[in-house]
A and B are shown apart, each in its own frame.
Chain A
């Protein structure tokens, strides 16, 4: 019997149609995937079902009874508990205080975390807790309400594989107990492995419900993107996967970034060089020093030892400003670290241009508009909701964080998990963009938590384990098996 039945649910914000008309049916004892490109309306549907926003039209039934989900607390009472895409925690409060804010029993949450074997210090301030752990706390908080239906909006996007496994275990458990999960993800492998059925949204409408195991990745993508777009995307992907002609040229190009014996935090002496025109991957399990590496290069943290130089000039950034002046710019994984949520797309993209005193005078609107427009164009940003960046979908927000640097100029792009939580179509656009930037002479350092991205994007890949480099692989040879071995420190030195 169907547990939840939503019919023709719609939502618009002024001129922006967030959800045109979506229907969804989730059975009891089912793990049901909700799929769709960025901006398809997935998060909007979740927010409607859990009472965060009110629908403009359509009906929602629970076990055959029409319900009006008027508020989040009402949703909790009738057995619907969400984990939202963006964690909403007060950073200055401790974890325990944050949980109490939502009127959930702290001990129950603690118990759930213990069951998942996740270790959290409840007295720590939420702002100091790493993002993956926050996601697990969010999950435990939802589970503590013991809901009939768990709604998980891109929860695995920010999780390393070991934590993602625990989420899957929870989903299994929910199914076994005859309860249900609505699962949103962009990782199709997870959908095929975990989900009984999937409903696909495209441009705010449901375009089909399918059984992922039977139909396969390629077909699912076709559903998500629409028939013509999918073939175009497939072509783009083929181009991407052909051996990269930039690789040979990079060999000859001058080194831009040289790092020698860099030490900071958990980083215990790392050396490498990055040439102009090259994309260098960094593969690592959670917490192997990659965060510190990127923070130091971006000037957000000071090195404790070692040397860095850019085109021969020694670099010791004391503030991100110094790194940016030397051409090193950061695209952080957490979009909230890069965006001005209340400001417009244009102001966001133009912001780094005014970061120094010398640029505080009158702005040149024509020059600004031109640069912003060409960055928007290069990244194909959907600007329908451009008055406030927080209204954009996740993928478009991520594009804005990259567009900022296109509009202000850079030499070395530090991309930390730039495709986290965005859909396949957008991901491919970003791969292609990175390749194009490299071909135009940019140097790119690229960390990703998705191993399948390395051979698509990188010329070379370094693996980091315990704060040291444990291997170097050529881009084409960086298949998951070799990467995983090196990432666990199992290989001493891999010939490149």
Chain B
């Protein structure tokens, strides 16, 4: 072990070095998993129906499908970085779906979209007020708000209104240009860039990590923690609304269950992406890969005829396993 002897790279040492590189850069491992899963799906699909899955069209479809999930998981990432969780993202998206399709006929598309976003932001703000100012546990607060919005939506959906999914929303949510590029990328990509860059290169981004890492230290450094949390939850609501708009465009009609299947995956995508469930470390890049992985996994399960129940079990298991794994690797040193 003395400094003079040359370091011989034993296989064990190489393995350890590799582990370290992976745990410092989870994106490498996640990209690998994504590609591997694609190949597996391809093999399974060939075996089942004789058709390839590894085609440009399927890749494009995967991105098309992944966008709403990735946007729900965007807000979720921000919230989880602060050490919280938002269980209302799905109902907020559903709200946006109803609002945008329910008001477009009478008030025009622009108004409808803005109103849907405002609803998302507003619901997020209420979550934020509860968590940041009245210090309600985020789980309880967002679950409560989710239940209230769902109730309100149920009543609203029973009133008579003219539902109309605007054409532009329809196109955004379901079509492609240049044959392979989904329109929803036009919404998703800028938001993703904004979040990734914002987390790294803005004062607000720094404060999101800081609050998740050590709120007491933040307070003593002069940060008014409630301001950070308030804005984070409000943004989460707004991103969820964008996801809801894409979903209603894809489905061409709003219904109460339109976003519900995405709630658990939105948390799973964040956890797969390497964001700590305790907050303070992680980022949106990992979440995007998490969302892509879950989307391919969903295709694979669908090809295998797995039921919705089985999928739920699997997503839950993934969250638990990864939470355990990340907890182990980070406490190991």
Which A residues contact B (CB, under 8 angstroms)? Answer: 8, 10, 13-14, 20-21, 53, 56-58, 298, 300, 319-321, 323-325, 330, 332, 336-343, 347, 350-357, 359-363, 365, 387, 391, 404
Partner of A342, one of B20, B203, B280: B280
Is the beta-carbon distance between B207 and A354 smaller than 8 angstroms?
yes
Contact between A360 and B221, CB atoms less than 8 A apart: no
Select A352's contact among B1, B204, B214, B222, beta carbons within 8 Å. Answer: B222
Chain A residues within an 8 Å CB radius of B204: 354, 360-361
Residues from 12 to 31 in B contacting A, C-beta threshold 8 Å: 17, 20, 24
Cβ 8 A contact of A53, one of B207, B218, B276, B333: B333
Other A-B contacts than A57-B1, A347-B210, 8 sampled, CB-CB below 8 A, are A20-B2, A21-B1, A300-B219, A336-B214, A342-B213, A351-B207, A357-B227, A391-B333
| Distance of A415 from chain B, by nearest CB (Å) | 14
Question: Is B51 an interface residue, CB under 8 A from the partner?
Answer: no
Name which residue of chain B comes closest to A388, CB basis: B281
Residue of B nearest to A56 (CB): B1
CA distance A57 to B24 in the complex (A): 24
Which residue of A is nearest B206, CB measured?
A354
Q: Interface size bucket, B side? A: 20 to 34
Residue of B nearest to A358 (CB): B203
Separation in Å of the A323 CB from the closest CB of chain B? 8
| Contacts from B to A (Cβ < 8 Å) | 1-3, 17, 20, 24, 201-204, 206-207, 209-210, 213-214, 216-224, 227, 276, 280-281, 333
Is chain B's interface secondary structure helix, strand, loop, or mixed overall? helix
Pick from A13, A57, A320, A336: contact of B219, CB under 8 Å: A320
With both chains docked as a complex, state the minimum distance between the C-beta of B29 and any C-beta of chain A, in angstroms: 17
Identify 18 residue pairs between A and B in the complex whose beta-carbon atoms are under 8 Å apart, listed by A's number. Answer: A14-B20, A53-B333, A58-B1, A300-B219, A319-B222, A336-B214, A338-B220, A340-B214, A340-B280, A343-B210, A354-B204, A355-B207, A355-B218, A355-B221, A355-B224, A356-B222, A360-B204, A363-B203
Q: Which residues of A contact B224 (CB under 8 A)?
A: 319, 321, 355
Q: Tell whether, in the assembled complex, residue A404 and residue B203 are in contact, meaning their CB atoms are under 8 Å apart.
A: no
What chain B residues lie within 8 Å of A324 (beta carbons)? Answer: 221-222
Instruction: Known contacts A353-B203, A363-B206, A365-B201; decide if A342 and B281 are in contact (CB<8 Å).
Output: yes
Who on chain A is nearest to B221 by CB? A352
Contact (Cβ within 8 A) B1 A10: yes
Shortest distance from the beta carbon of B8 to any chain A beta carbon, whole Å: 12
Given contacts A13-B333, A339-B214, whether A360 and B220 have CB atoms under 8 Å apart is: no
Chain B residues within 8 Å of A320, by CB: 219-222
How far apart are the CA atoms of A343 and B202 in the complex, in Å? 15
CB < 8 Å neighbour of B216 from A13, A56, A337: A337
Given A330-B220, A365-B201, decide whether A21 and B209 contact each other with a Cβ distance below 8 A. Answer: no
A404-B220 Cα distance, complex, nearest whole Å: 12
Quote the shortest CB–CB distance from B198 to chain A (angstroms): 8
Shortest C-beta distance, B301 to chain A (Å), equals 34
- Docked pose: A354 CA to B222 CA in angstroms: 9
Contact A350 B217, beta carbon cutoff 8 Å: no
Distance in Å from the Cβ of B231 to the closest Cβ of chain A? 8
CA distance A359 to B24 in the complex (A): 29
Q: Closest CB-CB distance, B24 to chain A, in whole Å?
A: 8
Q: How far is the CA of A264 from the CA of B24 in the complex (A)?
A: 47
Report the separation of the CA atoms of residues A330 and B218 in the bound assembly, to the nearest whole angstrom.
Answer: 12
